[in-house]
Structure 1
Amino acid sequence: MVSHRPLLFLLLLLSYVLYLVIGAYVFSTLEQPFEDQLREEVEDLWSDFLKTHPCLSEEHLDDFLRKAFLVKSFGVSVLRNISGFEVKWDFVSSLFFTGTTLTTIGYGHPVPISLKGKIFCLLYSIIGIPFTLTVLSIAARNLLFLLRDKPIHILHLQCNFDRNKLVWIHAGIVISLLLLLFFFIPAIVFEAVEGNWGYVDALYFCFISLTTIGLGDYVPGEQSGQRMPALYKLLVICYLLIGLIAVFILVEIMKSLLNCDRFFNLFLFGCEDSRRAEEMERDPPYDSELPFVPKHDETRRRRVPHSVSPAEKSYGTINASFS
């Protein structure tokens, strides 16, 4: 029988490519008009500035802006009134960078500037990223046992509830609480602290961060005039780490509800053979349940008759001397 899994896998790839194309078309349709509008405003601003300052050549202005934007991309402010909290590589800011890097959020602000810093970042991340994801995954599994498996087991035994209904009800409650605690309520806090963020912007930041997309268009603690920025960044690091554990829990709950393993098996090559092998190991044939007899002993007993060795006692025939 010819397997249809390669065909299903090809359809899955084509569906994903189609999904990418649709997303690209929608983003292009939504964002390109705003990009054109901003470009026109920049052109007008450029022309007005050169008209106001005729002594400044366009080449010098272009060179200055290129260098200023390059410095800004490294997280260094181009303004001259730099205060202490705008330093990007103090200990707290460096801790914020390591946290966002090892969790693969990666806002890109700031980034290592020196060659030694870039090399260390490579070596540090090679070990640190798997280590971080392992710690978060283990923490999520332990919390799943405490928040899902154990309560469901207790309620199923003591209250005699239907297990399937209990799983769905419990999942709905846990998912609602996690979304409330790590998305909707933190968005209110970020809106109040950041000042120039709207609620949708703050909710967008929470989602982009906890899904480890980390576009870097919204970075907490970068606004001037914030009170206790060091403490604020430490709290943001704690929020990101705990929030990632919550996202892991959400993913595991959704996978168990939707039975994703069965869906994945539709596209995996050789999955049918593995399933049959597992069934054979779990349900062995009837003959294998008989008492085990070593093959070498059985062969030796069959090949060597009783009469070959007269010194041994024979229990298969009557001993003449006994009579």
Structure 2
Amino acid sequence: MVGRRALFLLLLLLSYSLFLLLGAFVFSTLEQPQEERLRREVETMWSEFLAKHPCLSEVLLDDFIRKALLVKSFGVSVHRNISIHELKWDFISSLFFTGTTLTTIGYGHPFPISLGGKAFCLVYAIFGIPLTLSVLSIIVRNLLILLWDKPINKLQRQCSISRKKLEWILASIFIFFTALIFFFIPAIVFNAIEENWGYVDALYFCFISLSTIGLGDYVPGERNEQRLPVLYKLLVICYLLIGLVAVFLVVEVIKNVLNYNRLFGLFLFGEDRRDWETGCDLACKAGGPIVQKHEEKTRRRVPHSLSPSTEKSYGSFNTAFN
């Protein structure tokens, strides 16, 4: 049995490695020609500019452009007509930075420049990221009780439909409304507000942000002369936090429908595998958490041999709810 599990694990690692190689090949094929085209255009523009302005020193110009790009990477505008409203480290912009950092989105624009800012960011993130993920997990757990487990139990008592079919129906509804409310509709809004953002660009930004990838190639509210910049950034922060909760909720729903714990157990060895298949954690092995089963009105301890069909598991949420 251990040899079979080891084979499954080896196949999983091999499949993941092939998946990484496939992604690298596709991105290289799609992006390298564009990079080469832009490089040729910049070289042509550089040569034409120097030809039109022979009095300029190429070395000094190159040094100036490098410094200007470095300053811009710090989030500081290089335009001479910058105003106080375009500061990148005012309170609202700093709040936007802390929100994207603690949620691990991390656009990287701007980022701390001073030594003190970098040191504080390290300490702040060490404590803040686990705290943020814990808060989001608690919110998702409560939403699972209210929007998933209780409605399914109620519908199961009222309808003659199997629980698994109800789970698939409700999961489809969750996915549809999450995609509509937090991806497709916000993309329309960002497309209307942000200049030079097409609809696909805005939809791309929504996905990159709510998946916590946060590449930083599209950052809202960074345009000069943005209308109502304070309100806009506050709304974006709220959108990101609520959107993350919705995405995490959908992920847990999908894991529940696909019986993720049993699937995950295919790649584990020994006792840990059995614990994953049954949804039993360290607290369960220590004496068992007191939970309430769906078909019982009294509370009792759940034994280790409890069947997965009678105990629902939401990833790290191992309690079975009414």
Structure 2 counterpart of 1:62, one-letter code: D
Q: Which residue of 2 aligns with 1:109?
A: 109
Change beyond 3 A, Cα 1:160–1:273: closer
Aligned residues: 283
Displacement after TM superposition at 1:207 (Å): 0.1
Structure 1 CA distance, aligned partners of 2:262 and 2:95? Answer: 41
Cα offsets for 1:202-239 (capped at 9, x unmatched) = 00000000000000000000112221011000000000
2:66 matched residue in structure 1: 66
1:65-98, Cα deviation, whole Å (9 max, x unpaired): 1111110110001111102331000000000000
Q: Distance in 2 between matches of 1:2 and 1:115?
A: 51
Contact 2:190 2:197 in 1 (8 A): yes
- 1:168–1:104 distance in 2 versus 1, CA, 3 Å: same
Quote the Cα distance in structure 1 between the aligned partners of 2:209 and 2:223.
18
Work out the CA distance in 2 between the residues paired with 1:246 and 1:230.
24
Quick one: percent identity of the two aligned structures?
A: 68
CA distance in structure 2 between the aligned counterparts of 1:163 and 1:111, rounded to whole angstroms:
48
> 2: distance between equivalents of 1:101 and 1:280?
41
Please name the residue that 1:45 is paired with: 45
Separation in 1, partners of 2:228, 2:114: 28
Q: Mark the CA change 1:199 to 1:2 in structure 2 (over 3 Å): closer, same or farther.
A: closer
Equivalent position of 2:178 in the other structure: 178
| Match in the other structure for 1:153 | 153
Quote the offset at 1:2 in angstroms.
4.9
Give the aligned partner of residue 18 of structure 2.
Answer: 18
Structure with the bigger RCO (C-alpha within 8 Å, sep 6+) is 1
Letter in 2 for 1:134: S
The residue type paired with residue 6 of structure 2 is P
Counterpart position of 1:249: 249
Letter in 1 for 2:247: V
| 1:122 counterpart = 2:114 | no
- Name 2:85's counterpart in structure 1: 85
Q: 5+ unaligned residues in a row in structure 1: which ranges?
A: 284-323
Counterpart in the other structure of 1:203 = 203
Which residue of the partner structure matches residue 310 of structure 2?
none
In the alignment, residue 145 of structure 1 is paired with which amino acid?
I
Q: 1:183 to 1:280 in 2, by over 3 A?
A: closer
The residue type equivalent to 1:52 in the other structure is K
1:193 paired with 2:219, answer: no
Output the CA distance in 2 between the equivalents of 1:281 and 1:67.
63
Measured against aligned partners, the alpha-carbon deviations of 1:19-41 in whole angstroms (never above 9, x if no partner) come to 11111111011011110100000
Task: Give 1:163's aligned residue.
Answer: 163
Distance 1:64 1:72 in 2: 12
Equivalent-residue separation in structure 2 for 1:85 and 1:13 (angstroms): 50
Aligned to 1:33: 33
Per-residue Cα deviation, 1:244-301 (whole angstroms, up to 9, x for no partner): 0001001001111111211111111224565799898448xxxxxxxxxxxxxxxxxx
1:51–1:247: structure 2 CA closer, same or farther, 3 Å change rule? same
Give, in whole Å, the separation in 2 of the partners of 1:146 and 1:203.
29
> Which is higher, the Rg of structure 1 or of structure 2?
1
Q: Give the match for residue 309 of structure 1.
A: none
Q: What is the alpha-carbon distance in structure 1 between the residues aligned to residue 145 and residue 253 of structure 2?
A: 11
AA paired with 1:233? K
- Measure the CA separation in 1 of the matches of 2:305 and 2:41: 70
AA of the residue aligned to 1:64: F
Unaligned residue ranges in structure 2 (runs of 5+): 286-301, 307-322
The 10-residue stretch of structure 1 (33-42 or 149-158) with the greater mean CA deviation from structure 2: 149-158
CA distance in 2, matches of 1:84, 1:141: 43
Cα distance change, pair 36–234 in 1 and its aligned pair in 2 (3 A): same
Q: C-alpha distance in 1, partners of 2:33/2:98?
A: 37
Q: Secondary structure at the match of 2:116?
A: helix
Paired residue type of 1:238? C
CA drift of 1:162 comes to 2.5
Structure 2 counterpart of 1:25, one-letter code: F
What is the rounded CA distance, in whole Å, between the counterparts of 2:207 and 2:39 in structure 1?
Answer: 29
CA 126–2 in structure 1, closer or farther in 2 if over 3 Å, else same: closer
